[in-house]
Amino acid sequence: MINLKLLTLWVLTVLCSSHISSASDSFFINCGSPENATLNNRTFVSDSNLPTEIVDSTQGISLETTDSNSLPSGDESTLFETARVFSDESTYKFPIKQHGWFLIRLYFFPFVSPSRDLTAAKFSVSAQNFTLIRDYKPSKTSLVKEYTLNISTDHLSLEFRPKIDSFAFINAVEVFKLPENLLPEEAGLIATQKNLKLRTHAIETVSRINMGNLSVTRDQDKLWRRWDSDSAFIGEAHFGMPVENLKAVNFTAGGGGITEDVAPVYVYGTATRLNSENNPNTNANLTWNFRIEPGFDYFLRFHFCNIIVDPFGFERQISFDIYVNSERVETVDMTEVA
C-alpha cells in the first residue's frame, strides 16, 4: 500500500465555532521505564505496567541512560531517558473502540548506555499494512516521527522489525484518535482532474509550518503538534512581512467546521504577507522552498483567515494566486474568507 507524505503550510486560517474534541482512544507510553512520566497534560504510562494485550513486557529489554547530560534539552527530555530494545520482531497492539483517523507519534534517541550502543540499531517500523520507517539507522540526535492513519479495524498493530544481527528500540509512543472531520475524505491531484482518497493511505508529517516568523511549541497546541517558523523556508525573505493579530481570531465567525483542534490561536493570528507598502504595484511573490523525498505523493494544506487590516481597522482587500512547482492551483480572494 502507498504511503503519503504530509506537507502542511499554514499561511492564514479559516475560523469557525466548535468545542474541544476529546479522543476516546488514547495511548501514551513511556517505553522501557518502570515509572510513568507526565508531559503537557499527558501521562506516558510505563510499558511494563501495560496489559499484555497491548505489549508483553517480556518482549525486549529495558534500557536507561547513564548520562543525563547527553539528553536533548527541552520538556521532552524525560521521554528520552529510557528505551525498550527488541532483538526480535515485536508488536504493540492497541485496542481501538472507535474507528477513524489516528495520529501515531514515535520518539527515538540513541542515548549513552554501557550495555548497548543504540546508534548500532537498524530496523523498520510498520503499522497495519503500511511501512512507516524502513531500515532506520539512528544518528546521535533525537527524532520524532509523526503519522496519520485511518483505522477501520478493532486493533492498531505497531510492529518493530530489526535487521538480521541488529536490534530495534523505541523511547516513547503516542497513539490517539483525532477529532472528526480533521482531514478531508479526498484531495485533488495537481495538474489532473483526479482525486486521491486519503483514507487508503498512510500520511507522514514532513513539515508543519507557521507563518509570521513564529514557532509554536507542543504545549501550545491541543494535539501537541509542533509548528516551525516559516523563516527557514521562505525564499526571498525581504519580500515577506510578518503580521500578528491574535485579537482577530474568532472561532464563531466563520464556517466549515474549523476549530482549535485544527490549529491554535498562535497559528490563526499570525501570517506572512507581501512587503509592498512602499510600492503597491510591486511585481514580486512570496515563495517557500521545501526539500522532499521523491517517489511519494505529497498532501499540501493551506488555511486562510483575513487578519490583515488597514490603519483604521478595516480588513484589507487582498487576492492572490497559489502556485506549486510553477503550477497554478488556486486563486484566493480574501474578501470571501472569514
Beta bridge partners of 234: 288
C-alpha cell at 150: 485511518
Pair (132, 245) in one structural domain:
no
Asked whether the beta carbons of 63 and 115 are under 8 A apart, the reply is: yes
| Number of folded domains that form the chain | 2
> Per-residue confidence of the chain (338 residues) as pLDDT tens digits?
445 555 544 333 322 222 223 345 899 999 999 999 999 999 999 998 888 889 876 678 999 998 888 898 888 999 999 999 999 999 999 999 999 999 999 999 999 888 899 999 999 999 998 999 999 999 999 999 999 999 999 999 999 999 999 999 999 999 999 998 889 899 999 988 899 999 999 999 999 999 999 999 999 999 999 999 999 999 987 889 999 998 888 877 656 667 889 889 899 889 998 887 766 667 788 999 999 999 999 999 887 877 887 655 556 678 889 999 999 998 888 777 65
The reply to whether 204 falls in a domain is no
Pair (79, 151) in one structural domain:
yes
pLDDT for residue 274: 87
For residues 298 and 328, give the distance between their C-alpha atoms in angstroms, rounded to a whole number.
Answer: 16
The residue segments making up the domain with residue 66 are 26-177
Secondary structure tally for the chain: helices H, strands E: 1, 23
Per DSSP, 325 falls in state: T
pLDDT for residue 46: 95
Pair (215, 248) in one structural domain:
yes
For residues 14 and 338, give the distance between their C-alpha atoms in angstroms, rounded to a whole number.
Answer: 6
Pair (114, 151) in one structural domain:
yes
The reply to whether 273 falls in a domain is yes
C-alpha cell at 43: 501521562
Pair (216, 165) in one structural domain:
no
Pair (226, 119) in one structural domain:
no
Pair (168, 225) in one structural domain:
no
The reply to whether 313 falls in a domain is yes
